Amino acid sequence: MIHDLHIHSSASDGSLDPVRLVEHVREHGVDVMSITDHDTVDAYRQLEGKLSIRPVLVPGVELSTTWMGRGIHIVGLNIDIDNQVLQRGIAAQAESRNQRARLIADRLARTGIAHPLTAVRALAGDSAIGRPHFARHLVDIGAARNLRAAFRKYLGAGKPGDVHTLWADMPEVISWIKAGGGIAVLAHPAKYGMTGVKLRALLQDFSDAGGSGIEVVCGRQDDATTRRIAALARDFELAASSGSDFHSPEQHWTRPGGFPPLPDGLEPVWNRW
């Protein structure tokens, strides 16, 4: 069975609305999926009464936090989206996300990008504003050739739009997920650009705070990366998760279910629910 437990809809920064997203994921042969939008569970409200049996939908969310001054993402899987503690946490994140959007817009304006927040709000509509919305605006006005270039020049690590200091700290974010009956999973650990020593320190703090899973497979990463993350999962006794981090059909490298199976000898995260 294919478990894709890291997927985004238009409720945050994905391009497909939740109903079309489920259809798209089904077309790619995924058996179990989780919509893990950034700091929102609104996709599940839009799907009420509209789900078929396949793929099985595991409620999830991707929450933003910081660790040692770095932006980190933690996926909560098999959550109760109506849990009041989790809901209050998500509401706080939404306000932080709005504040961050204003800061990013101010910083981009200083680089000569005129009135970005108005345009980005129009692009996002009712969705939670994220950096990809800013990236799309930068492409639309010709400030960047494509989305990757927009992140490389304006929004990536160390660039003007790299704002991540407003989020709740990691133990608090994990406590929200656990209050909602969910499993806290460290998202895409290979994407943080950390040294081995730094990543182990992150995982130690993550485990100490109650985190219990790690994305061993995330999209089309190379085999050496998968082996390295698998070894960390074993060392820290973390359950292994897999996901595409899908956002858009245009990004073929994040095709739903388009990743290899988990390595042998790991406990899959779905065995814990």
Boundary-marking domain end, from 155, 190, 207: 155
Boundary-marking domain end, from 127, 155, 183: 155
Q: For residues 153 and 127, give the distance between their C-alpha atoms in angstroms, rounded to a whole number.
A: 24
Residue 214 shares a structural domain with residue 257: yes
Q: Is residue 164 in a domain? A: no
Q: For residues 1 and 149, give the distance between their C-alpha atoms in angstroms, rounded to a whole number.
A: 36
Residues with Cβ within 8 Å of 122's Cβ and at least 6 positions away in sequence, in order, are none
Residue 230 shares a structural domain with residue 149: no
* Residue 241, φ and ψ in degrees, nearest 5: -115, 165
Residue 112 shares a structural domain with residue 141: yes
Residue 132 shares a structural domain with residue 207: no
Nearest to 189 by CA among 205, 178, 177: 205
Q: For residues 138 and 112, give the distance between their C-alpha atoms in angstroms, rounded to a whole number.
A: 11
Q: What is the mean pLDDT of residues 185-203?
A: 97
Residue 179 shares a structural domain with residue 124: no
| Band of pLDDT at residue 187, cut at 50, 70 and 90 | very high
Nearest to 127 by CA among 9, 250, 2, 246: 9
Q: What is the DSSP letter of 38?
A: B
Q: Is residue 163 in a domain? A: no
State CA 48 to chain mean position distance: 22
CA 219-224-228 angle, to 5 degrees, is 90
Of 25-29, 46-50, 81-85, 203-207, minimum mean pLDDT range: 46-50
| Band of pLDDT at residue 61, cut at 50, 70 and 90 | very high
Q: Is residue 167 in a domain? A: no
Whether the per-residue pLDDT at 165 is higher than 80: the answer is no
Q: Is residue 218 in a domain? A: yes
Q: What is the mean pLDDT of residues 158-170?
A: 87
Whether the per-residue pLDDT at 53 is higher than 90: the answer is no
Question: According to the model, what pLDDT value does residue 54 have?
Answer: 82
Residue 147 shares a structural domain with residue 16: no
Residue 253 shares a structural domain with residue 220: yes
Identify the residue whose tokens are 């980190």.
Answer: 72
Q: Is residue 103 in a domain? A: yes
Q: Is residue 169 in a domain? A: no
Residue 64 shares a structural domain with residue 104: no
Q: What is the mean pLDDT of residues 49-70?
A: 89
Residue 76 shares a structural domain with residue 42: yes
Identify the residue whose tokens are 């895409």.
Answer: 188
| pTM of the predicted model over 0.75 | yes
Whether the per-residue pLDDT at 50 is higher than 80: the answer is no
Count structural domains, the chain: 2
Residue 121 shares a structural domain with residue 229: no
Q: Is residue 166 in a domain? A: no
Instruction: Using a pLDDT cut of 70, give the percent of the chain over it.
Output: 99
Nearest to 12 by CA among 57, 64, 85, 54: 64
| Bond preceding residue 59 cis, omega within 30 of 0 | no
Boundary-marking domain end, from 155, 189, 207: 155
**Continuous H helices in 111-130:** 116-124
Residue 182 shares a structural domain with residue 261: yes
CATH number of the domain that residue 138 is part of? 1.10.150.650
Q: Which domain holds residue 114?
A: 91-155
CATH number of the domain that residue 43 is part of? 3.20.20.140
Whether the per-residue pLDDT at 155 is higher than 90: the answer is yes
Instruction: Give 98-153 pLDDT, tens digit per residue.
Output: 898 999 999 999 999 998 999 999 988 877 788 888 999 999 999 999 988 999 99
Torsion of CA 63, 187, 166, 140, to 10 degrees: -90
Q: Is residue 151 in a domain? A: yes
Whether the per-residue pLDDT at 164 is higher than 80: the answer is no
Residue 194 shares a structural domain with residue 132: no
